[in-house]
Structure 1
């Protein structure tokens, strides 16, 4: 097993961080372009946001497929093949000349983007020791945040300068470089044990995980947190491009530098887990998102930015902890368990905009925050329930060992 601190640890972890950067840069490259897309194709805000949510939808639905496939064919092979597919579809997006083509290619791109997120944590579980895995998961998820920042900066700056097609072409070149580095750096699997691929095992494993109350609660925590968090960003772009802020796309893209606090939150989650239980960390992260959402209600641009920094730290603290919790507490079919967590996660991203849009139409950003609090309050209650159940289970196991 790969232990913490050695060359194999840093080589594998860096490869997964690069792959994660590539995946999430492609997912989020359209987000700062939403007002530009709405104007170019004469569509409303919700329709423009579909260029983002269609990708998260197909990504989420594809996750259940890749987990069992990697159980049969191997982790690295599937990750390499899907990242190559991402690169090709990103090149194709640079030639899309109508909204229908853009949506179709973004949907196909989502299918390929699912490969690495579905398998990466399972790969770490196969190859890394438990302690090394806890640290590596936090670092791997920090690549998500860096990718989210990078993709949005490319979309905002290149899009405003040369248009969306140039932004996609630039993203394709970046993807090709990341793909090559990932392929070269990621160590081959040494502890992977192939299992026969059977379609019915997908349904069997899904049903098994959903019957596990702790996993189900963790899925709901991750899904509904992302349901709110990511769609807040979609609507805040319209707020900041309107009066009194009147920010252009490139300056709106700078807003996503707030994800840097998410990178810190992800990396910090592993260390915090040595002091607090993981459900308690999820409660803390959710409450921080609630506080950050309130801060964004201030009219000052600096206050809005500060609120988003707070949101990012809290969200990624919760998300990285929840992802690790699923892997630790799924004693069978770990890849499927991790994939199912991400299904909830990305389906949350896909439908959250439909939930928040009526609030937006009725009362603008203030109403969006009210709608956010309604969901986040429920999520916080679920984290407390998870903590109670986890504590009871730990006490029971301790009693049995004695």
Structure 2
């Protein structure tokens, strides 16, 4: 059977479903981010401790991704992704009624475990079902849904917490997540190119060796760690900066900076199209350079300069992420779900590790210390992106090894 083409109704249904899936996944995962100052005040926490409400979820998600890829290779894609979205939405509702911070962290950890059945499986589904020449666009649309979910989740929780409470805010996001899971289940076409396997941990170990032996995939995994670590850390602590002197903004206004995620909706699709036309190796280093420039601009003590810097930073992150994630899908060989899981394992591991470390640095040196660590990470990532410009296509690499 032919893969789904860009002109077909199935292409539109697939992109609609994956838009809802990406929206729900990121809205549920990052809804607590603007609430960190409120959680710190409510439960008597330090900024680093309050950041655990996100880091515990992303860390659990990173670990869950690898096991979910094995389950998905056995039972299929759609059912596992649908269950992941429904369970994560229910866990968010439990967070809204948590009696103390340990209970909230437990529910957030379970949320992360549940969501392990969504991101990598979605990337594998698209790589299997979408025609190669349209994969960049489709992956970009999926990531734009993620960007929209990340933006709306933050804005809704920030606004509702300003007028009501953080509990009402999380409850509203949980209800929205249940609806998104239903729309995902209703819209996504069944897999036509999925071939179930009976592989277990031994096959997973063989797959790990295969993917890490590739000339390009380990570098793409490293980029995932650095990109997401910097991105999440910036949004974790920009709220603390803007709530404090000299800006002293209200919670609702600080949450409004998440509207910059709208830039990611456009940049991910734009980058996907550009990568399909020019090649990822020619564009990635430029978008990462722009990301670093935006980050450095936030060091200014002018609010407009900070917003402009975060805008450029956000636009460039989603463009870079769109290219690297679709590059993994194009380059990886079987087991593809594992390759996607590895990419996202390092992606969310970066979120947890760098996010927590930036919390420690915030307590010692404020925003300047946070930006310094992020700049070091992005500088290293830029060197990796420049190295990938000389990477041979996977077909050429395979031919050289078998010659």
Aligned equivalents of 1:66, 1:119: Cα separation in 2: 8
1:217 has 2:219 as partner: yes
- The answer for the alignment partner of 2:111 in structure 1 is 109
- Relative to structure 1, is the Cα distance of residues 9 and 232 closer, same or farther in structure 2, using a 3 angstrom cutoff? same
Partner of 2:297: 295
Q: Map 1:3-402 to 2 at 5 A.
A: 3-390=5-392
**C-alpha distance in structure 2 between counterparts of 1:94 and 1:389, whole Å:** 47
Aligned residues: 399
Q: What per-residue deviation string (whole Å, max 9, x for no partner) do you get for residues 53-91 of structure 1?
A: 111110111111111211110100111111121122122
Provide the alpha-carbon RMSD of the alignment: 1.8
TM-score normalised to structure 1 length: 0.95
Confirm or deny: 8 A CA contact 1:25 1:151 kept in the other structure.
Answer: yes
Q: Spell out, residue by residue over 1:116-162, the C-alpha distance to the aligned partner (whole angstroms, 9 max, x if none).
A: 10201111122111122221101001111001001101210112222
Deviates more, 1:275-284 or 1:55-64: 275-284
- Structure 1 unaligned residues grouped into runs of 5+: none
Shift of 1:354: 3.2
User: Which stretch shifts more, 124-133 or 92-101?
Assistant: 124-133
Give the drift of 1:255: 0.5
Deviation track 1:262-308 (CA, whole Å, cap 9, x = no partner) reads 11110011221144331332211211111001111111111111111
The 3-state SS of whatever aligns with 1:43 is: coil
Contact 1:270 1:321 survives alignment (8 Å): yes
Q: Which runs of 5+ in 2 are unaligned?
A: none
- Aligned to 1:180, the other structure's residue is in SS state helix
Is the Cα contact below 8 Å between 2:133 and 2:276 reproduced in 1? no
Moved more, 46-55 or 157-166: 157-166
CA distance in 2, matches of 1:361, 1:82: 35
Q: Tell me, yes or no, if the aligned pair for 1:284 and 1:318 is still in contact at 8 Å.
A: no
Deviation string, structure 1 residues 210-246 (Cα, Å, up to 9, x no partner)? 2223000001011111111111111111000001211
Report if aligned partners of 1:281, 1:317 keep a CA contact under 8 Å in 2.
no
Q: Deviations over 1:192-220 (max 9, x none)?
A: 11111422222221222122230000010
Counterparts of 1:203 and 1:368, CA distance in 2: 36
Larger deviation, residues 305-314 vs 367-376: 367-376
Q: Comparing 25-34 with 189-198, which one deviates more in the overlay?
A: 189-198
CA distance in 1, matches of 2:163, 2:213: 51
TM-score (norm 2): 0.95
Structure 1 position 171, deviation (Å):
0.9
- State the 1:351 CA deviation: 0.5
* Cα distance in 2 between the residues matched to 1:357 and 1:40: 18
Runs (4+) of structure 1 exceeding 4 A deviation are 393-400
